[in-house]
Structure 1
Amino acid sequence: MTADLKLETRKGLPEHLRVLAEKYPAPTWAAHPNFNDLTSFWLERHLMFRQLLDKMIADAEVALDGAPGPRFGAELSRYGGFFLNQLHHHHMIEDDHYFPQFTALDARLERGFEILDADHHALDAHIRDFGQHTNAVLAALQAPGDKRTALGRLHEVQEDFRKFLHRHLTDEEEIIVPLILEYGPDMQ
């Protein structure tokens, strides 16, 4: 994949992959007759991922500004584990079930699904990194000594992850929702 299409460097989808996104701008999606409950649920999952990550970043920033609060470790473990597990599962369902069906609907967007699939593989590495740094913070919280180094590194990883995840989710939404609006929501 060319550098301009890699998740870590992509600024957005190429224009030829935005053909349906131009036809169906995001502010019009919910009012479209083909916008159904499953599409709404899928977008809500994306919103949940964004909100969870924002919360974990905000919590890390508070902890970096002072001593981590008494619930910081428990919440980091709970939210971090939930976030990573749900995101991984979400991508598996997309890769195994939905993307093959969507790809068949419009050949113009086939390259877009290749990009999204590559994103999922790239995000797998970021998920592992996120998990490792989360675990490093949790271990540091249980041990005497420096906690700020591990916490600072986790915060950097979280911020990078937010950029990558936001880019991926936005591009995915700009491919998939307009595709559903164009061809109908009847997926198996």
Structure 2
Amino acid sequence: MPIDFNQQIIEEFRANHGRVGGPFEGGRLLLLTTTGARSGATHTTPVGYLPDGDRVLVIASAAGAPRHPAWFHNLKANRHVTVENGTFTYDATATVLDGAERDRLFARAAEADPGWAEYQAKTDRVIPVVALEEIPGPPNVDADTMGGGLKAIHDAFRRELALVRAEIARSGPRVGAQLRVNCLTVCSGLHHHHTIEREHMFPALGEQHPALAEPLKRLQAEHEAIAELLGDLQTLLADDATPADPAALLTEVERLTHELEGHLDYEEEHLIPALDGIPM
């Protein structure tokens, strides 16, 4: 892609917490910063990604061009990269997958989006699949205050659930492997987020703001209700050998979305005023 087009996407991405229009609208996008293999300078590129549990996958398709994209050569020379997903910025280790693992994950991506297979058909090179694994460290939320950070995280869940619902709607008669992973990844993310709130944020707010006792009690109860919905969704997707029915899956995701949206709205109404005074 032309450099000026990339820069436009980067600026829009950062200004809107990961939301962009144009060819990337309605898709999953991250900003990948690599170190130039020759220059040593940093380079940031918008790249589509696929969820894969605790890591994300990026595919060096270059739209089927005969050469690998520059960012791929960079991360092969230096595996330490920076990832921006619109909510968090974090350091990651890039691993170029090979053999059966690469083939399995590329096939999974192509099943979800035939465009990947079309790119592979256009070129003689084997299109690489790269796993980006976060390097443990303090969370770096793209916000100035704790309140802004909470809103950014909530919006990321809203956006992800909207993507999943759209993917289910166009999935056809069976739920593909990548869609299954997308659903399970958002379940894991919600569970992790609620665990942090329950064990850290809620107790601290309850101690500092006694007037929040009733809202926090309600939010705790809603966490339990959402946990049950997450359990139902995970049960539906638990057996890889038995494809889930898209209609049943959509019903479960809609139930979760309805419950979660009300929960997030209530939490923001009552907690953000207290959190907005706390810098990140």
**Which TM class, normalised by the smaller chain length?**
0.5 to 0.7
Q: Which residue identity does 2:265 align to in structure 1? A: T
SS in 2 for 1:114: helix
Q: Which residue identity does 1:161 align to in structure 2? A: L
Question: Is residue 129 of structure 1 aligned with residue 232 of structure 2?
Answer: yes
The corresponding residue for 1:52 is 160
The root-mean-square deviation of aligned C-alpha atoms, in Å, is 2.1
Of 157, 174, 192, the residue aligned with 1:89 is 192
The corresponding residue for 1:185 is 278
Higher-Rg structure is 2
Equivalences for residues 1-188 of structure 1 within 5 A = 36-63=144-171, 66-68=172-174, 73-135=176-238, 138-141=240-243, 150-181=245-276, 184-185=277-278
Classify 1:58/1:155 alpha carbon distance in 2 versus 1 (closer, same or farther; 3 Å).
Answer: same
CA contact (8 A) 1:76 1:134 kept: no
After TM superposition, give the deviation of residue 37 of structure 1 in Å: 4.1
Provide the C-alpha distance between the structure 2 equivalents of 1:174 and 1:81, rounded to a whole number of angstroms: 28
After TM superposition, give the deviation of residue 78 of structure 1 in Å: 2.3
Q: Which residue identity does 1:77 align to in structure 2? A: R
TM-score w.r.t. the length of structure 1 is 0.66
Deviation sequence 1:90-130 (CA, Å, 0-9, x none): 00100000101111222222100000011111111111001
The structure showing larger relative contact order (alpha-carbon pairs under 8 Å, at least 6 residues apart) is 1
Provide the C-alpha distance between the structure 2 equivalents of 1:52 and 1:37, rounded to a whole number of angstroms: 23
Deviation sequence 1:75-99 (CA, Å, 0-9, x none): 2132112111111010010000010
Provide the C-alpha distance between the structure 2 equivalents of 1:168 and 1:60, rounded to a whole number of angstroms: 23
The total of aligned residue pairs comes to 138
TM-score w.r.t. the length of structure 2 is 0.45
* Structure with the largest fraction of strand: 2
SS in 2 for 1:140: coil
The corresponding residue for 1:6 is none
Q: Which runs of 5+ in 1 are unaligned?
A: 1-34, 142-146
Q: Which runs of 5+ in 2 are unaligned?
A: 1-142
CA contact (8 A) 1:60 1:155 kept: yes
